[in-house]
Every structure is written in C-alpha cells, then in structure tokens.
Amino acid sequence: MILAAFGSVDLWIIWIIICVIAIIIESVSQEFLSIWFAAGAAVCTVIDVAFPSLPFYWQFALFALLSAGFLIATRPLVKKMMDRNKIATNVDALIGSTAIVTKQISNYQIGEVTVEPKFGAIIWLAISNDNTTIECGEEVIITQITGVKLIVQRKKTSKEE
C-alpha cells in the first residue's frame, strides 16, 4: 500500500502537511495556483476527521477533484483580477495612441509615423495592419508593436463612423 511508509500516522496529519507545503509554495510563487491544492487538502483534513474509515484512495480522489474544481472555477477570475493591475509602461503605453504619418505607408512598404508622447516627438517605422496605403499627414491609431515597427490603422473620421 502507498501509505505503508507512514506507519500508523493518521491521514489527517498527512493532509495538513500537504496543505502547509502548498501554502509555502504559494507564498513563494504568488501565482494563485497551489493555493487551490491547499484548499483541497484542508477539505480532506476535515473529511478524514469526520470519516476516519474512508479509504485513502477515496480521499485522494476527492482531493484531486476538489483541487481541480477550485482551480477551474476560480483561475480565470483570479487571472483577470491580476491582469487588471498591470500598468502599461514604455512602448506598451503607445498602443491605442494616435500618431501622424510622416512617410507614406503603402502595401507592403514600411512608412514612418511621429508619435508625440509626453516628452517630445519620436519617429517610428510603421506598417498598415490591413496593407492599405496611408498618406502623409493622416492620423493613425497604433494597434500593436512588432520589434521596432508600429502596426497602425487609419483613424476613422466622424464621417466614416
């Protein structure tokens, strides 16, 4: 049997040890991943105390199902909450900004745009996100950054909307 190495140790003690180890791992990683295993082990501790005759394999199955259930049910919400606190810095802050085309952007031709952040104008290489021609002087919206090039799209005017 798997638990023969533990001798006469009660299973609830093993579940508490698993719970503590998972909490320690969580405190080091802070990814909200192993906390769900700690929760599963805590529930199994209570189950073992309430039903001491329940075999280990049933307790382990319950632990696996509970941990997976906690993880699946809450991970997207926790990840969304953690991503909300990210602040765009450096070039990431340019995405969604407006720029002015200073060198024509044409089909498969790299052009240039001027972006005016808080500390002065900066010229960037740019390509169109849909391979259309964008003339000098037109306003564009920065949709993404690939390497040293901005991917831009023509800014819609009030007539186009």
pLDDT 10s digits, 18-45: 999 999 998 888 777 888 999 999 999 9
Could you read off the pLDDT of 53-106 as tens digits, one per residue? 899 899 999 999 999 999 899 878 877 777 666 666 677 778 888 899 999 998
- Length of the chain, in residues: 161
Residue 125 has a CB neighbour count (10 Å cut-off) of 14
Angle CA 15–18–23, to nearest 5 = 125
Strand partners, 154: 140
According to DSSP, the β-strands at 122-128 and 139-146 are unpaired
Q: First CA to last CA across the chain, in angstroms?
A: 70
0.85 exceeded by the pTM?
no
Q: Note whether 111 and 101 are within 8 A (CB).
A: yes
CATH homologous superfamily of 90-154 equals: Nucleic acid-binding proteins (2.40.50.140)
